[in-house]
Structure 1
Amino acid sequence: MSVRTLQEFLASSKEKDVSGDAFELESPHMLEVRLDGLVWAKAGSMVARKGSVKFTRQGILEQGLGNLLKKMVSGEGMQLMKMEGQGRVYLADAGKKITLLRLGGESIFVNGNDVLAVESGVESRITMMRKVAGMLSGGLFNVRLSGSGIVAITSHYEPLTLPVNAQTGPVFTDPNATVAWSGGLTPEIITDISLGTLLGRGSGESVQLRFAGDGWVVVQPYEEVVFQVKD
Structure 2
Amino acid sequence: MPVYQQINEKMLEVKLGNEEVFARKGAMVSYQGDVAFSRSFLAGQGVQSLAMRAVTNEGYAMMSARGSGSVFYAQGGLFVTIVPVRGETFYVESDSLLAFDARLTAGTMFLGNQGGVQGVVRGMASGQGLFTTTLQGTGEVAILSDGNAIGLPVTPDVPVFVDPQAYIGHTGQLSSTIVTDLNWKTFVGQASGESYQVKFTGQGTVYIQASER
Under a length normalisation based on structure 2, what TM-score does the superposition of the two structures give? Answer: 0.79
Q: Name the CA distance, whole Å, in 2 between partners of 1:86 and 1:58.
A: 19
Q: Identify the match of residue 215 of structure 1 among 182, 191, 204.
A: 204
- Is 1:181 the counterpart of 2:170? The answer is yes
**1:86 corresponds to which residue?**
68
- Is 1:22 the counterpart of 2:11? The answer is no
Change (3 A) 1:118 1:136: farther
TM-fit CA distance, 1:193 = 7.4
Structure 2: stretches of 5+ with no match in the other structure:
114-119
Other structure's SS at 1:62 match: coil
Q: Name the CA distance, whole Å, in 1 between partners of 2:45 and 2:8.
A: 30
- Is 1:109 the counterpart of 2:91? The answer is yes
Change (3 A) 1:149 1:160: closer
AA aligned to 1:34 is: K
Other structure's SS at 1:47 match: strand
Other structure's SS at 1:52 match: strand
More deviation in 66-75 or 25-34? 66-75
Other structure's SS at 1:94 match: coil
Contact map agreement 1:63 1:126 (CA 8 A) in 2: no
**Larger proportion of strand:** 2
Q: Name the CA distance, whole Å, in 1 between partners of 2:168 and 2:145.
A: 7
RMSD: 2.9
Other structure's SS at 2:165 match: helix
**1:127 corresponds to which residue?**
109
Under a length normalisation based on structure 1, what TM-score does the superposition of the two structures give? Answer: 0.73
Contact map agreement 2:43 2:108 (CA 8 A) in 1: no
Structure 1: stretches of 5+ with no match in the other structure:
1-19, 225-231
Q: Name the CA distance, whole Å, in 1 between partners of 2:157 and 2:93.
A: 26
Larger-Rg structure: 1
TM-fit CA distance, 1:143 = 2.1
Other structure's SS at 2:95 match: helix
- Using the aligned pairs only, state the percent identity: 33
Aligned residues: 203
Q: Deviations over 1:159-181 (max 9, x none)?
A: 3332322322x322122201221
**1:100 corresponds to which residue?**
82
More deviation in 132-141 or 83-92? 132-141
Matches within 5 A, 1:125-164: 125-131=107-113, 132=120, 133-135=123-125, 141-164=131-154
Q: Deviations over 1:114-168 (max 9, x none)?
A: 1111121111222232243444686664322221222212222223332322322
Contact map agreement 1:164 1:212 (CA 8 A) in 2: yes
Q: Name the CA distance, whole Å, in 1 between partners of 2:125 and 2:45.
A: 25
TM-fit CA distance, 1:41 = 0.7
Contact map agreement 2:81 2:149 (CA 8 A) in 1: no
Q: Deviations over 1:2-22 (max 9, x none)?
A: xxxxxxxxxxxxxxxxxx962
